[in-house]
Amino acid sequence: MFRIYHYYSDSKMVVSGNDTIYRFRWQLPNGYVLDAEADERYDVFLNITCKEQFYRELHGIPFINDTIKKYIIDKDPYLEYYRNKTEVKRFGISDSIEIKQIILDGEIDKYFEKVK
């Protein structure tokens, strides 16, 4: 998992056909994922689909702490986690093609710090 900073004001979800997709996550080579909002310190994986989350967001239905706890299926979801070494180069979401090439070239440690 890679952490890339991205600021936005639109919805995090987009509807494409019958599917609802989280807009700030991309599949990368070798099983890596690029995520604009990931944070290994606070992230958990929930048993909730993007479609269910989008519905709640559209209708202003918040999760309260007691409610969301019952949906947690993994409290430590990342096998590996990397952060951008901003002193080398600051990557943005638009740099996903360059990040793919870095992975394919085996240069992750040159541009990203392994946190986990």
Structure confidence by residue, pLDDT tens digits, 62-102: 888 788 888 999 999 999 999 999 888 888 778 889 999 99
Amino acid at 55: Y
Name the pTM for this structure. Answer: 0.71
Q: Would you kindly state where each structural domain of the chain is located, as residue ranges?
A: 2-114
For residue range 13-29, list pLDDT tens digits in order. 777 777 777 778 888 99
- The single residue listed with the structure tokens 């986690």 is 81
pLDDT reading at 49 higher than 70: yes
pLDDT band at 111 (very low <50, low <70, confident <90, very high): very high
pLDDT of 51: 82
Task: Please check whether residue 53 is in contact with residue 24, taking contact to mean a CB–CB distance below 8 angstroms.
Answer: no
pLDDT confidence band for 4 (50 / 70 / 90): very low
Q: Helix (H, G, I), strand (E, B), or coil: what is residue 103?
A: helix
Residue 12 has pLDDT above 50, yes or no: yes
Q: Is 14 left (phi over 0), alpha (psi -120 to 50) or beta?
A: beta
DSSP-derived secondary structure letter, 36? S
